[in-house]
Homo-oligomer: A and B are copies of this chain.
Amino acid sequence: MTKISIPFILINFKTYAEATGKRAVELARKVEKVNLEADICMGVAPQFADIAPVANTVSIPVFAQHIDPVMPGNSTGHVLAESIRENGAAGTLINHSERRLKLADIDAVVTRAKETGLVSVVCTNNPSVSASAAALNPNMLAIEPPELIGTGISVSKAKPEVVTSTVKLVRNINKKVTILCGAGITVGEDVAAALRLGTEGVLVASGIVKAKHPDKVLLEFAKAVTKV
């Protein structure tokens, strides 16, 4: 399994035009460059079809945005863990707020990730759901209050109690899982605040992908991390 160290910054490319096809590869290159300068672990989560081109170009960890609870066999139009693994993915987001899964399927998908050597990052929307997901023993959790996603208002500053409450409930159940937070992460201080609240990294999307200078914002993130 690809080594991922904490603090960890994971950048979700979503289906943004700025991070599709060739532009996904270019953006991943920028992330890799900042990663080399700043020595903070950074990963990217491009679209399924962009995983191979991105993973063939950069050496930072590449994540899928979703995998399906299917085994090799007759499942048309589904995302097989083995397929993204073989094309270079190191891990996968699971249950993102834009791709919610059934509880039994999250459990099955976490298992599929383990079987295929993928790092599993289960996204959650509030403290109780985070605790619930922690009981499934994924590698990481990413708490993101859906109402803040894409707003530029960061969870770590606007709703610090959501983050601290999540950390507390999760740690009662699971000592090992890495806890990230996300939603509205835009400036370095958002990242620093997240770490001070007890998380071990951030999941960010528009804050980087839609930035005029993604590399500058990322470098700011990295510097903020170093100071915590």
Contact = CB atoms under 8 A, between A and B. Distances in A.
Contacts of A165: none
A216 interface: no
Contacts of A21: 82-83, 86-87
Given A49-B49, A150-B74, A20 B132 contact: no
Interface stretch (A1-9, A29-37, A64-72, A193-201): A64-72
B83 A20 contact: yes
Nearest to A130: B135
Contacts of A105: 100
Interface stretch (A11-19, A156-164, A184-192, A219-227): A11-19
Interface residues of A, number: 67
Contacts of A79: 47-49
A135 B134 contact: yes
Interface string A125-141: 11011011111110000
Contact of A128 (B20, B71, B99, B137): B137
Top 8 closest pairs, chain A to chain B, by CB: A66-B77, A21-B86, A77-B99, A48-B48, A17-B72, A76-B98, A76-B96, A132-B135
